Structure 1
Amino acid sequence: MPLPFLTADRAFDAGAEDIALPFDDHDVWRRPYRPGPWRVAAAATQLLLASFVLLAAMIISLAGSLSAATACFVLAGLVIACALRLLRVGAWVSRHGVRRVGFFRTTTVPWGGAASVRTVQQPVKWLGFPRTVQGQALVVVRRSGETLPPLVTDHNADFLARAEAFERATDTIEAWSDEYSVAG
């Protein structure tokens, strides 16, 4: 089964670092980087928990309590849905704009509506927790002057302790912005 969210930067793995926009179809929303090890580990842990809940649901259903088994199946479904949503969180780009996918909310800014996309030094959340540390963040400033929450930071679940991957991802998103802000 192909997992397109894991093959996001396949062009960079092939040694094509000089290509800023490595994808053929620019109309498809893509994350220009791979999910980080912290994000994948959290999703894998959730899926492991869901497998135990499904096993419990099977045992409960064989014991004869269908209402409790149904509750376990629903709980396992929710845990699986949360794990899949966690893997979708991040910055996505296409010819149409930039999209910040959060766990509960998604914000899309068309390239024509973005005044700038740039990397700034600022306090950022460490792995999404309330604790902040000094770091870098990729921010979008709308033409109205509103600054959106950071698309990605160097201390989030995708880039913690992966400075080179952060630089490559932010350079790629900024290249998409330069390409389509001028063309749009």
Structure 2
Amino acid sequence: MPLPFLTADRAFDANAEDVALPFDDHDSWRRPYRPGPWRVAAAAGLLLLASFILFAGMITAFAGALPGAGACLALALAIILCALRMLRVGAWVSRHGVRRVGFFRTTTVPWNRATAVRTVQQPVKWLGLPRTVQGQALIVVRRGGDAVPPLLTDSNADFLARGEAFDRAADTIEAWGDEYRPQ
């Protein structure tokens, strides 16, 4: 079963040509980078926990306590949904704009409302925790000066200890912005 939120663009495959906008369909939303190992490991851990809870629910159901089995099933489904949402978190681009997908909130900035997409040095959250470290962040500057949280940081779950991957992803998103942002 294909999982479209896990697919990365073919620009970073070993045998693909080096193009900034490698997709044939620029209208669909795409994440121009692969999910990082921290994000995938956290989602895998949640899915492992959900499997144990489902197993406990099955044992509870065989023991005859159906309300307890239903509670286990509901908890496992909630954990599975959280793991899937965690895998969707990140920056997504299309011809229509750039989208920052968070765990609870999604923000979309149309290209005609963005004045710039650039990488800056600033304090960034380490793995999304309250602790901040000095790092790089890809930000969108909107018309009117509305603040948008950084699209990507070099210390988030996708790019921690993967500086080259952060640079490629930031350059790709900047290329999408240069292509579709009105001049």
Fold equivalence (TM over 0.5):
yes
Q: CA deviation at 1:7?
A: 2.2
Give the Cα separation in 1 of the matches to 2:72 and 2:148: 38
Indicate the RMSD between aligned Cα atoms, in angstroms.
Answer: 1.1
Partners of 1:139 and 1:147 within 8 A in 2: no
Give the Cα separation in 1 of the matches to 2:128 and 2:12: 27
Q: CA deviation at 1:18?
A: 2.8
Which residue is 2:131 aligned to?
131
Q: Secondary structure at the match of 2:119?
A: strand
Unaligned runs of 5+ in 2: none
Q: Percent identity?
A: 78
Which residue is 2:56 aligned to?
56
The C-alpha deviation readout for 1:52-92, integer Å capped at 9, x for no partner, is 00000000011011111100000000000000000000000
Q: Which one is further off, 3-12 or 141-150? A: 3-12
Which residue is 1:75 aligned to?
75
Give the Cα separation in 2 of the matches to 1:79 and 1:113: 36
Q: Which one is further off, 2-11 or 118-127? A: 2-11
The C-alpha deviation readout for 1:9-39, integer Å capped at 9, x for no partner, is 3221144463010111000100000000000
TM-score normalised by the chain length of structure 2:
0.97
Unaligned runs of 5+ in 1: none
Q: Alignment length, in residue pairs?
A: 183
Q: CA deviation at 1:150?
A: 0.4
Which residue is 1:30 aligned to?
30
TM-score normalised by the chain length of structure 1:
0.96
User: AA paired with 2:117?
Assistant: V
Give the Cα separation in 1 of the matches to 2:171 and 2:11: 14
Superposed, 1:44-123 pairs within 5 Å as 44-123=44-123
